[in-house]
Amino acid sequence: MKRCLGMLVLVLGFVHAASAREQILSFHSDIQVFPDASMVVTETIRVKAEGQEIKRGIYRDFPTDYKDRFGNRYRVDFSVAEVLRDGNPEDYHTQRQGNGVRVYIGHKDRYLRAGVYTYTLRYRTDRQLGFFQDHDEIYWNVTGNDWVFPILAASAAVRLPTTIPADALKPEGYTGFRGDQRQDYEAVVDYDGTVRFSSTRSFAPREGLTIVVAWPKGYIAEPSTEEKLWYLLRDNVPYLIGAVGLTLLLIFYLSIWHRYGRDPESGVIIPRYEPPEGYSPASTRFVQRMGYDHKTFAAALVNLAVKGLVEIHEKGKDFVLLRTSKEADDLAPGEKALIRALFVSTKPSASKSRELEKLLEELRDKGNKLSLIPRLFVHILQQRVDTFGSDEPAPVDEGTSNYIDSVVLERKNHSRIRSALSAHEAVLKRDHDKIYFRTNTGWMVPGVIITLLTLAGTALTLEGEEMMVGLFMSVWLSFWSIGVIVLLRQAWGAWRGARSVLEWISALFASAFALPFLAGEVAGFYLLFTQGSPAILVILVLGIVINVLFFQLLKAPTRAGRKLLDKAEGLKLYLEVAEKDEMNFRNPPEKTPELFERFLPYALALGVENQWAERFSGLFQKLGREGHEYQPGWYHGRHWNPSNMGTFSTAIGGSLGSALSSSSTAPGSSSSGSGGGGSSGGGGGGGGGGGW
């Protein structure tokens, strides 16, 4: 007896728990389709509330944004006409939610008692019908597949214009979770053409009912071509703003390029056997590139080495630069700035030292009378003469007085090397910018402003989460991309300069370090495309491409620069010609080791160091066979190979440039729903809901 009573209590407990669960007792949708293809939908939702999820009322989600089969944005209209609770008007408010609208039914300060309530939601919508080649249809998700409550019964009634014969209507339906094609429903067509659907089972949370009704063409007005075009423009305002903004950007840049960025017409290019008079290799490259790079620095270093002021030693994977004791007199201004900044113990001429000593002696003799000169200044000047004018060379590894200073191209010396790079670049820019070429970078400012205004205008047409994600990701990607580009350039430079196992391993590590950041870039673009706005992504990418493209195109040589470039092209024509074609030149200079060294810095500056070096391979091999083996006195390293001069030129051009780069960086609606082509959750309408 006690056991029976226990079982009864347990069963009653289960029954009470089940009865206390919030659920949708019935969901009915009355759909009225008008001849102009607009619709009025009346949803009657009867719910059981227990104060768990349904506290103030329910909410209903209605999708409004879709993609057509071409990927264009497709937005339907949605407006609430009436909201009732148990037949009486009820408070409600709407809120934009992702790709649609959420209707909150109830008042935020008024809570419901537990019980059964019947909600009526009437709304208007349009552009929900499908117009196909052989039929038209309504493909409608009645309940939506995102309800958090079970639905015990679902039904729908579709009322079409009375002109459509009842026997011409073809109803279909789908039930279950999103994508299912179960058919747990019944459908009948009344004599007046009303198509009625009803489910034959209850639905679990996130299950639903989707219906399709098809009819012959010609009964309901299909949008005209003009209307479709208007809808396309209206639905895709972000893309329209982007297209207008980017078009204005292109027009602006093209007009500026036409006025300021076109190159003067080049002259006749003939082979030249002498460098441009008065122009160093670095200045020649600086004008040719209309900018500075590490190879400009490398060309200047090699030219200093050829002149006997610097020696280049390879020690393991590092380059060591040794400053010789030769006077730095006959140098271009840029080379003087470089050698002064790079070698801090550069010894001055004897006349300069005597001049400083004389000045100091005068200050000592007249110190009591020159009250405006503090003693501290005298002390500092004394220290400067002691160090700057000292005949003692700075310590170097070679242990010989032929060298007065040295620097290893490695990161711990980045400050010193960066200072030399900056000093060299500053002098080249002072002597050549706006004289031999114009970068016209000032015109980039209006271009960037147009790009930003286009992005901002596009973002302002978006709503809710789409706008916030779009704005945040576009700003984040703008800065993140700069870092990714820098890392990829470093990795690429490491691979280009790799000539040994250690260098290949270093390049591999550089690539591995860059990969996670590149993955973050890809993930950012994907997130912007899926969660934000594809329009902002497209405009951001195209805007970056256009600005970068015209950053290069707006650079233009002046007439003086064009003359220098013509001379440089003539020299390049001579330097890069193959040995077998050299006989086509008229009276070329005799090939000697001195000629090789003299023109090597210019070949490096013009990017033809490999071709120039290979032309001398036969000569150096011949000298070796005759017992006069040749190697430049300013280069000491493993890459000198007369039988393969490309190895040497690559070491000087590629590896030295890579070492400079590394050492100067601080560590640190697409288908029909009829004919079996649909599924539960497809078509218009849909959404879901819950309690609040």
- How many residues appear in the chain? 692
Q: How far is CA 91 from the centre of its chain?
A: 47
pLDDT over 50 at 369, yes or no: no
pLDDT value for 186 = 93
User: pLDDT digits over 4-28, tens only?
Assistant: 544 544 444 444 444 568 999 999 9
Report pLDDT for 383. 45
pLDDT at residue 679 above 90?
A: no
Classify the phi-psi angles of 627: left when phi > 0, otherwise alpha if psi is within -120 to 50, otherwise beta: left
Q: What are the pLDDT digits (tens) for 478-508?
A: 778 777 877 887 788 777 656 556 667 777 8
Euclidean distance between CA atoms 86 and 83, whole angstroms: 10
Give the whole-number percent of the chain exceeding pLDDT 90: 25
- The per-residue pLDDT for range 181-217, each reduced to its tens digit, is 898 999 999 888 899 999 999 999 999 999 999 999 8
Q: What is the mean pLDDT of residues 390-401?
A: 42
Asked if 516 and 567 count as a contact pair (C-beta separation under 8 A), the reply is: no
* Enclosing H/E stretch for 47: strand 39-49
Using N-to-C axis directions, what is the helix angle for 333-342 and 414-432, rounded to 10°? 170
Task: Judge whether 156 and 196 are in contact, CB under 8 Å.
Answer: yes
pLDDT per position as a tens digit, 133-154: 888 899 999 998 889 899 999 9
For 377, the 3-state DSSP assignment is helix
Whether residue 158 is predicted with pLDDT greater than 90 in this model: the reply is yes
SS3 annotation, 413-451: HHHHHHHHHHHHHHHHHHHHECCCEECCHHHHHHHHHHH
pTM reported for the whole predicted model:
0.64
**Least confident piece of the model among 167-176, 543-552, 626-635:** 626-635
Mean local confidence (pLDDT), 324-335: 85
pLDDT for the residue 664: 56
Report the share of the chain in percent with pLDDT over 70: 76
Beta strands in 354-430 (DSSP E): 403-408
Residue 134, strand partner residues: none
Q: Of 284, 340, 335, 279, whose CA–CA distance to 305 is shortest?
A: 335
Where are the strands (E) in 177-207, listed by range? Answer: 185-189, 195-199
CATH number of 23-223: 2.60.40.1730
Q: Which of 176, 145, 168, 171 has its CA nearest to residue 158?
A: 171
CA 427 from centre of chain:
33
Please say if the pLDDT value at position 398 is more than 70: no
Note the pLDDT tens digit of each residue in 232-257: 888 788 888 989 999 999 999 999 99
Min mean pLDDT across 96-105, 123-132, 271-280, 563-572 is at: 96-105
Q: What is the pLDDT of residue 257?
A: 93
Residues forming beta bridges with residue 136, ordered by sequence position: 131, 215
pLDDT band at 119 (very low <50, low <70, confident <90, very high): very high
What pLDDT, on a 0 to 100 scale, did the predictor assign at position 209?
93
Rounded Cα gap, residues 460 and 4, in angstroms = 69
Q: Which residue has the tokens 């009819």?
A: 215
3-state secondary structure string across 107-167: CCCCCCCCEEEEEEEEEEECCCEEECCCCEEEEEECCCCEECCCECCEEEEEECCCCCCHH
Question: What are the structure tokens assigned to 642, written together?
Answer: 């007369």
Q: Is the pLDDT of residue 346 over 50?
A: no
CA distance 236 to 530: 16
**CA atoms of 280 and 297, how far apart (whole Å):** 11
- Candidate from 290-304, 498-512, 584-598 with smallest mean pLDDT: 498-512
154-159 and 146-147 strand pairing = unpaired
Closest CA to 665 of 499, 489, 429: 489
Q: What would you report as the CA-atom Rg of the chain, rounded to the nearest whole angstrom?
A: 40
User: Residue 473 has what pLDDT?
Assistant: 78
For residue 541, CA distances in Å to 235, 482, 535, 547 come to 22, 13, 10, 10
Look at 345 and 151; give whichever has higher pLDDT: 151
Mean pLDDT of 212-239: 85
Which of the residue ranges 372-376, 537-541, 544-548 would you say has the lowest mean pLDDT?
372-376
Rounded-to-integer distance, Cα 23 and Cα 47, Å: 6
| CA 344 from centroid of its chain's CA atoms | 41
Read off the tokens for 572. Answer: 């390049």
Query: With contact defined as beta carbons under 8 Å apart, do 663 and 158 qualify?
Result: no
SS3 content of the chain, % helix, strand, coil (to 5): 45, 20, 35
Q: Is the pLDDT of residue 455 over 60?
A: yes
Can you name the residues that pair with 141 across neighbouring β-strands?
210, 685
Identify the pLDDT of residue 18.
46
pLDDT over 90 (residue 459): no
Q: What is the mean pLDDT of the chain?
A: 79
Mean pLDDT of the region 27-41: 92
